[in-house]
Amino acid sequence: MAANRQLEDLCALYAERSEPELLALYEQHEDLTDLAQQALQQVMHERGIAAPQPAAAQPELPAEDPTGSAALAADEICIFTFSDAFQLGEALRILQRQEVLCRTINWDEVSPRDDGGPMRLGLIVKRADAAKAKQALQQAMNLYPAAKGAEPFEALADFAQVGIFLRDDALLVAHALGAAGVSYVWNDSRDDDTMGEDEVILEVRPQLLDEAHQIAQQALTD
């Protein structure tokens, strides 16, 4: 019964997401729990959103074009490269509100790498809209250009905060997260001396945040 209720709650959460956000979540569906994957697939099916098919392998770019600029039109520019599909979905939502036309590109499909590493998801806009888009993302997501000589942009934080709990409550939530297969980070006064001795911050990967909130709420109300 608890699993059915959690599935319903997750479906309700995903139903509020836009199509780009759902597709961005689907890009990392293997990182979600089985229940979250089931909810995501159900919502996408109900809304008639087709799961993206694996793209055909692209030829490796020539050495003189290592950045993948050949994949962009002359009037386009990549304003940010994300390593997290959930954060990319949030950026798309922000730009849509600002009426900025944009698209995404997977640089690993354009220029495959042999060494693995995190995914590289580029956010592409028209050059004429670049300043407006960057300002909107900076204000909403606190994005800043990297230092000179570094990558054009840095990925956002790897973890998102589920909440600040009293230690006893944190133990309940942590146990529930572990039982659901959701990995988490536990931070307390040993990690941050500004925190109270009985305070605990729990964090999860951003794409698992909605599910973690539901698990935490259920753990503290049951």
- 75 and 137 fall within a common domain: yes
Examine residue 57 and state whether it is found in any structural domain, yes or no: no
- In three state form, how does the secondary structure of the chain look? CHHHHHHHHHHHHHHCCCHHHHHHHHHCHHHCCHHHHHHHHHHHHHCCCCCCCCCCCCCCCCCCCCCCHHHCCCCEEEEEEECCHHHHHHHHHHHHHCCCCEEEEEHHHHCCCCCCCCCCEEEEEEHHHHHHHHHHHHHHHCCCECCCCCCCECCCCCCEEEEEEEHHHHHHHHHHHHHCCCCCEEECCCCCCCCCCCEEEEEECHHHHHHHHHHHHHHHHC
- 37 and 82 fall within a common domain: no
Work out the average pLDDT over 69-86: 77
Domain that holds residue 125: 69-141
Examine residue 213 and state whether it is found in any structural domain, yes or no: yes
- 78 and 132 fall within a common domain: yes
Q: For residue range 123-174, what is the model confidence (pLDDT) as tens digits?
A: 888 888 988 888 888 778 776 443 334 343 333 345 788 888 998 898 888 8
Examine residue 154 and state whether it is found in any structural domain, yes or no: no
Choose between 209 and 6: higher pLDDT. Answer: 209
Q: Where residue 57 falls among pLDDT bands split at 50, 70, 90?
A: very low
Beta bridge partners of 126: 76
Q: For residue range 37-51, what is the model confidence (pLDDT) as tens digits?
A: 888 888 888 888 887
| Domain count within the chain | 3
Q: What is the pLDDT of residue 154?
A: 38
